[in-house]
Amino acid sequence: MNGKLFIIGVGPGDSGLITVKAAQVLRDIKYVFIPVSKQGRDSIAYKIAQHHIGSRAEICQLTFPMLKDKIALHTYYRENQRHIERVLRRGDDAALLTLGDPSTYSTAWYILQVMRQAAPEVDVEIIPGISSYVYGAARAACNLAEGNEVLSVVSTYDSLERIEAVIDASDTVVFLKTYRERQRLLELLRTKGLFDQCIYIKRCGLHSEEIIRDMQQLPDEPEYLSMIILKKNIQPV
Ligand SMILES: C[S@@+](CC[C@H](N)C(=O)[O-])C[C@H]1O[C@@H](n2cnc3c(N)ncnc32)[C@H](O)[C@@H]1O
């Protein structure tokens, strides 16, 4: 009989924010797959989950390079999916870790899609995690939505036209993946007069966490693990 694949969201950074269910699975699992952008690179998802993983588990890195070429990327997804499938076919269970929650901008989701196509009979269970923006909102004591308010979560890599349309249609907007296009986003927010309604959150739950409410004070260096929350009716804390 095939083993089962658990896709596990390990939360945003603090290892205490992993679910009890995830910790139970990780304690007994034989194989743990961790996504990295390059072989040998550190994985934040692994660091978060490390204390919960049983000492006999085999840790396998899966490379997901940051490529724009979709065909080349698919080759990596397929190779990684095959690697996991080989383990499952031996009858062993395996866990695939992902930062935050698997349903939000996660590489694990691509693996799930490829697995569903290549080996639809494989049993997969998704264990959710606390998404970075949920924890970011908690750290900043920012209420994301109440009453009929509209909450949107966007990738800052999206087109400026779409981002502007989302801003206009929402009460609260969470901008994730703020790394590469941060400047472009900041200019849009400034032009729309929304700077005072933004909170910048860097590395929440991790070493050197920072929460900045005055957007004029943002560090010059963009940070991969950062987000901006725009809340139009922001209340002073
Ligand atoms: C590829 S997405 C993964 C999102 C993840 N699946 C989640 O549910 O939070 C990576 C982006 O999530 C955000 N992020 C993840 N962890 C974070 C953290 N600890 N602090 C701030 N932002 C974080 C950043 O915007 C980062 O660029």
Ligand 1, from 47, 175, 227, 230: best to mutate by most atoms within 8 Å of Cβ?
227
Q: Which two tokens stand for residue 221?
A: 């260096």
State if pTM tops 0.85.
yes
* Index of the ligand 1 atom closest to the CA of residue 175: 25
Ligand 1 pocket by C-beta < 6 Å: which residues? 12-13, 98-101, 104-106, 131-132, 136, 176-179, 201, 203-206, 224-227
Q: Sketch the domain layout of the chain as residue ranges.
A: 4-127, 132-231
CA of 91 to the centre of ligand 1 (A): 33
Mutate to test the pocket of ligand 1, among 101, 225, 228 (most ligand atoms within 8 A of CB): 225
Rounded CA separation 195/215 (Å): 6
Residue 130 CB contacts under 8 Å (≥ 6 apart), including other chains = 9, 11, 12, 17, 100, 101
Burial of 222 (0-12, 13-18, 19+ CB in 10 A): middle
CA atoms within 13 Å, Cβ hemisphere of 61: 13
Structure tokens at 121: 């009979």
Which residue stretches of 15-159 are H helix?
20-28, 44-49, 70-89, 107-118, 132-139
Answer yes or no: are the C-beta atoms of 192 and 167 closer than 8 Å. yes
Q: Which of 79, 174, 105, 75 is nearest to 60 (CA)?
A: 79
130 Cα nearest atom in ligand 1? 8
| Radius of gyration, alpha carbons of the chain | 19
CA atoms within 13 A on the CB side of 184: 15
Q: How far is the CA of 101 from the centre of ligand 1 (A)?
A: 9
User: The tokens of 196 are what?
Assistant: 């005072």
DSSP state of 208: T
CATH fold for domain 4-127: Cobalt-precorrin-4 Transmethylase; domain 1 (3.40.1010)
| Pair type for strands 226-231 and 210-212 | unpaired
- For 39-48, letters b (16+ CB in 10 Å) and e give eeeebbbbeb
> No. of H helices and E strands in the chain?
7, 10
**What's the 2 CA to ligand 1 centre distance in angstroms?**
32
Q: Please, are residues 124 and 115 in contact by the beta-carbon 8 Å criterion?
A: yes
CATH of 132-231, one of 3.30.950.10, 3.40.50.720, 3.40.640.10, 3.40.50.300: 3.30.950.10
pLDDT by residue for the chain (237 residues), tens digit each? 899 999 999 999 999 999 999 999 999 999 999 999 888 788 999 999 999 999 999 999 999 888 888 898 899 999 999 999 999 999 999 999 999 999 999 999 999 999 999 999 999 999 999 999 999 999 999 999 999 999 999 999 999 999 999 999 999 999 999 998 999 999 999 999 999 999 999 999 998 999 999 999 999 999 999 999 999 987 766
Do 4-127 and 132-231 fold alike per CATH? no
- From the CA of 225, how far away is ligand 1's center (Å)? 6
Partner residues linked to 226 by β-bridges: 202
